[in-house]
Amino acid sequence: MSEGLQFVKDRDPHEPEFIQSVTEVYESLKVVLDAEAAYRKAKIFERLVEPERMVIFRVPWQDDKGEYHVNRGFRVQWNSAIGPYKGGCRFHPSVNLSIMKFLAFEQTFKNSLTTLPMGGGKGGSDFDPKGRSDDEVMRFCQSFMTEMFRHIGPNTDVPAGDMGVGAREIGYMFGTYRRIKNEFTGVLTGKGMSYGGSWIRPEATGYGNVYFAGEMAEAAGRTLKGAVCMVSGSGNVAQFTLEKLLQVGAKPVSASDSSGSIYVADGFTAEMIAFLKNLKNVKRGRIKEMADAFPNVEYIPFDGKAGPGVQWNHKADCAFPSATQNEINEADAQNMINNGVWLVSEGSNMSTTLGGIGVFQENKILYGPAKASNAGGVATSGLEMSQNSMRYLWTPEEVDQKLKNIMVTIHKTCLDTAAKYGRPGDYVLGANAAGFIKVAEAMLAQGLV
Ligand code: NDP
Ligand code: 2IT
């Protein structure tokens, strides 16, 4: 049997996103594995690249016209050595096993970094919520949970939101779980405030990413104050990244959806962010409509030769990719550097291709990899779980302070770990190694299971 990375490539050659995420981690972990014979002997890496369990199921549902549809549902339970499986559900037509596996694998390291006791998991479906009515989404969510409920539980696996899954979908799924199980528990996070949600959970990923970026900037003697910031996406993560950037005195200048991007040379105002939230979350409209509403907003469609890469083609100091995986390729990374970017902090999971990461590292850019920089979302999910277990509710200020402390701790852990392994300032190595070591120690202690 082949060893290490080759072992994964040989076994799952048809899963490019999964192989990409394992490759990135493996490159960093080589130094740790070289130093720790016990991890090699116990085959910790080989065990960690195989999920503990994967469930794939049929999701039948009926649209408003009475027509029947069948989608594919997934729940990938990656590793529970340090706590119950934990991670979001993604509803997007691109969802497949490779994407589910890369997300669940990454989540395991991310959750370990949060300092909270959460294992890694991910789920979702190739269902496309775009253009579907609330009733259609409800019926889909009910059908999805009618199978998923068997595999989850507050001490087993606690799903949450991700792309295409927000407060509306969590509400419908929670209602179905509660009805089937006849129990009210913290089985999902991202719940509404009237039924067990936590303050700041909607804000947490975006806010947390800006806190993390602020720490990276400060450690390098720089500041986000006055920094021109590009943001991609316009969903949950992007909206609260824009909001926090404005609050800390930075100047966010862009946002996007899968059709195009907007550029605001003078920077977003609070009024524009409020409009965007209503446009995306209530009206479920397109980012292009921002340009119809505000004369100073320029709309740049992705239909040209450069495709989505055009959204990174602005003079800027920082970039906060917050849409989807591989949204920054090698050419985009080079373009950013040519345009003056000195900090990139990932809101989306695996925002950057391996080639793009190489460009950032060669150019000594402050680069925060997703599993560290976007960990604020799941960390606050962990805080929601704690509050549910206590049957208690912290104030928004308390949760925000805890989130901030966690992001500061993650940042310090990454820096300290990178320095320990001889690569000071390498946040990729720091995040991968620190996330890995906690899980590896737990696996060693618990024997060959
Ligand atoms: P949403 O569904 O709320 O928003 C996703 C955004 O990305 C939309 O604006 C969407 O546009 C855009 N998008 C999707 N696909 C593409 C594409 N191929 N090209 C350009 N834009 C695209 O999701 P979230 O904001 O929750 O998630 C965004 C990212 O952040 C994901 O990578 C997710 O895994 C990650 N993340 C989310 C967390 C959370 O708590 N929600 C936590 C940590 C990470 P359109 O409307 O056109 O589809
Ligand atoms: O990628 C992620 O960290 C999330 N989608 C959030 C997961 C969670 O359980 O809150």
Tell whether ligand 2 has an atom less than 6 A from the beta carbon of residue 162: yes
Q: Which tokens go with 152?
A: 């989850």
Distance 307 CA to ligand 1 centre (A): 17
At 51, the amino acid letter reads P
Q: Which of 257, 302, 328 should be mutated for ligand 1, with most atoms under 8 A from CB?
A: 257
Residue with tokens 């003078």: 266
Whole-angstrom Cα distance, residue 327 to residue 255? Answer: 13
Q: Which tokens go with 239?
A: 């909206």
Q: Any idea which ligand is nearest the CA of 233? A: 1
Beta strand pairing call for 85-91 and 120-125: parallel
Check residue 305 and give its pLDDT: 85
Collect all residues with Cβ–Cβ distance below 8 Å to 427 and sequence separation of at least 6: 216, 366, 367, 368, 369, 372, 414, 415, 418
Whole-angstrom Cα distance, residue 197 to residue 179? Answer: 18
Q: Which tokens go with 29?
A: 């972990």
Whole-angstrom Cα distance, residue 405 to residue 149? Answer: 33
Whole-angstrom Cα distance, residue 183 to residue 149? Answer: 12
DSSP letter for each residue of 151-191 = G-BTTTEEEE-BTTB-HHHHHHHHHHHHHHHT-----SSS-
Tell whether ligand 2 has an atom less than 6 A from the beta carbon of residue 377: yes
Ligand 2 atom closest to Cα of residue 159:
9
CA angle, 18 then 40 then 354, to 5° = 30
Mean pLDDT by groups of 10 residues along the chain of 449 residues: 80 97 94 95 96 98 98 98 98 98 98 98 98 98 98 98 98 98 98 98 98 98 98 98 98 97 98 98 97 97 92 98 98 98 98 98 98 98 98 98 98 98 96 98 98
Q: Which tokens go with 349?
A: 């999971």
For helices 97-113 and 427-446, what crossing angle results, to 10°? 90
Whole-angstrom Cα distance, residue 227 to residue 406? Answer: 24
Distance 163 CA to ligand 1 centre (A): 5
Distance 294 CA to ligand 2 centre (A): 33
Which H helix or E strand runs over 373? helix 370-373
Which among 261, 253, 356 is positioned nearest to 306, based on CA atoms? 261
Distance 328 CA to ligand 2 centre (A): 21
| Cα end-to-end span (Å), the chain | 20
pTM: 0.98
Ligand 2 atom closest to Cα of residue 380:
10
Chain centroid to CA 325: 9
Whole-angstrom Cα distance, residue 214 to residue 234? Answer: 21
Ligand 2 atom closest to Cα of residue 103:
1
Ligand 1 atom closest to Cα of residue 323:
7
Q: Any idea which ligand is nearest the CA of 130? A: 1
Q: Which tokens go with 181?
A: 């199980």
315 is catalytic: no
Which among 75, 94, 117, 87 is positioned nearest to 17, based on CA atoms? 94
Residue with tokens 């700041």: 200
Ligand 1, residues at Cβ distance < 6 Å: 88, 161-164, 166, 205, 233-238, 256-259, 308, 322-324, 347-349, 374, 377
What single DSSP character describes residue 348? S
Q: Any idea which ligand is nearest the CA of 324? A: 1
Q: Which of 86, 101, 110, 122 is catalytic?
A: 122
Q: Any idea which ligand is nearest the CA of 110? A: 2
Tell whether ligand 2 has an atom less than 6 A from the beta carbon of residue 378: yes
Tell whether ligand 2 has an atom less than 6 A from the beta carbon of residue 87: yes
118, 141 Cβ separation under 8 angstroms: no
Ligand 2 atom closest to Cα of residue 158:
9
CB burial readout 354-368, b (16+ within 10 A) else e: eebbebbbeeebbbb
232, 327 Cβ separation under 8 angstroms: yes
Whole-angstrom Cα distance, residue 22 to residue 24? Answer: 5
356, 337 Cβ separation under 8 angstroms: no
Q: What are phi and psi of 62, to 5 degrees?
A: -120, 130
Whole-angstrom Cα distance, residue 51 to residue 65? Answer: 39
Tell whether ligand 2 has an atom less than 6 A from the beta carbon of residue 347: no
407, 212 Cβ separation under 8 angstroms: yes
Distance 43 CA to ligand 1 centre (A): 35
399, 383 Cβ separation under 8 angstroms: yes
Tell whether ligand 2 has an atom less than 6 A from the beta carbon of residue 402: no
Q: Which tokens go with 357?
A: 């990461």
Chain centroid to CA 249: 24
